[in-house]
Amino acid sequence: MRAIGIERFGDTPQLKELPVPEPGGGQVQVAIEAAATNPLDLAIASGALAALGEYRFPLTLGMDGAGTVTAIGDGVTEFRVGDRVFGQFWSQPLQFGTFAEVCTVQAVPAFGALAATPDELPSEVAAALPTSGMTALGAIEHMRVPEGGTLLVIGATGGVGTFAVQAAAARGIRTIATASAQTAEQVRELGAIEVVLRGAEPLDLALRRLAPEGVDAILDVVGDRSVTTSLADAVLDGGALFSTAFGLDDQLLANERIRTANYRLDRKPDRLAELTRLATAGTIRPVIGATLPLEETPRALAGDVEVTGLRGKTVLKVR
């Protein structure tokens, strides 16, 4: 089968021919129809997450995917052959990811989450949902912004950002977002009430203009610590400043006036279930900026993808 993987940490991901993996006890074999890229994929390939679990080589990359169950191992009761499934395919140990024609994963992934794909969702859409969508939902929940409150999303055009704007709007939160002039209208269509154009004015000055009394929360998905530090004073007492891109330094994390965190995705099965409900209802949808064939995955991981609108998610069509 075709797969995108590495032989050791630090390798450049490449297209390979590998044997089809067979499911062991507690595992399902999935014929992957679509997958989606995440920064997490390169973090794993580099070895940055080596301490999180066990990895086996050759390692097929890819966390997010959707496909059809083609075989099940002993003890599996959650799924049957023929079921359509999607989710974050993070087994322990990790060896077979979603950037492949066939993947094996624990029916209840040790570090991820797997669910039945609703009939309403094409595989390309389902594959684009899990990691970014779950991250956005988790961060919004933990920030506890009240209905009618104000949230600033720094970086609203990528995977997590586009989901965060939609999730906030669904909760009745007034969202201010940063975006380019070319994508501002699309970000408004996702639910932002105001858009600060990148490069048009300093963000701290724009925030004073748009929310002179302060904001209830700030969600950073970019990771620029100088920006988060400069904006902390704009958060109301007891409010929240979260980053999904490790954008908070130790001084901010020690701040006692507001709640701060470099948020890491938690409660994944619950998050995926909530995401499934919202996507099925049409409340949240993935923004797919590019769709590529599997063999172009290395180019997608390197960021060499031309997008004319919102960057959103890059989806890989496997079948």
State residue 290 phi and psi, 5-degree precision: -155, 145
Tens of pLDDT, residues 12-22: 999 999 999 99
Q: At 44, which amino acid appears?
A: I
pLDDT (0 to 100) of residue 92: 97
Residue 97's pLDDT is 98
Do residue 109 and residue 157 come from a single domain?
Answer: no
Structure tokens given for 216: 């209830």
What CATH number is attached to the domain comprising 9? 3.90.180.10
Domain that holds residue 53: 2-127+286-317
Domain end: 219, 246, 262, which one? Answer: 262
Apex CA 265: angle with CA 166 and CA 94, to 5°? 125
Same domain assignment for residues 90 and 139: no
> Is 241 found in the same domain as 309?
no
Same domain, 120 and 66: yes
The arithmetic mean of pLDDT across residues 19-27, rounded, is 98
State percent of the chain over pLDDT 70: 100
Number of structural domains (the chain) is 2
Is 90 exceeded by the pLDDT of residue 164? Answer: yes
- Rounded CA separation 55/153 (Å): 34
Q: Which residue has the tokens 């977002």?
A: 177
Q: Is residue 13 part of a domain?
A: yes
Tokens encoding 154: 């720094």
Q: 248 and 152, same structural domain?
A: yes
Q: Are 41 and 120 in the same domain? A: yes
Angle (CA) 138-42-186 rounded to 5° is 55
Rg (CA), the chain: 20
- To the nearest 5 percent, what fractions of the chain are helix, strand and coil? 30, 30, 40
Same domain, 63 and 86: yes
Retrieve residue 209's tokens: 């203009």
Claim to verify: residue 240 and residue 293 sit in the same structural domain: no
Q: What is the mean pLDDT of residues 37-44?
A: 97
Q: Phi-psi bin for 256: left (phi > 0), alpha (psi -120 to 50), beta?
A: alpha
Indicate whether 156 belongs to any domain: yes
| Residues 79, 117 within the same domain | yes
Q: List the CATH number of the domain containing 240.
A: 3.40.50.720
- Same domain membership, residue 120 and residue 55: yes
The pLDDT of residue 199 is 87
Does 155 lie in the same domain as 106?
no
- Measured CA to CA, the distance from residue 123 to residue 43 in angstroms comes to 25
Same domain, residue pair 90 and 185: no
- CB 146: neighbour CB atoms within 10 A? 11
Instruction: Give tens-digit pLDDT for 187-243.
Output: 999 999 999 999 899 999 999 999 999 999 999 999 999 999 999 999 999 999 999
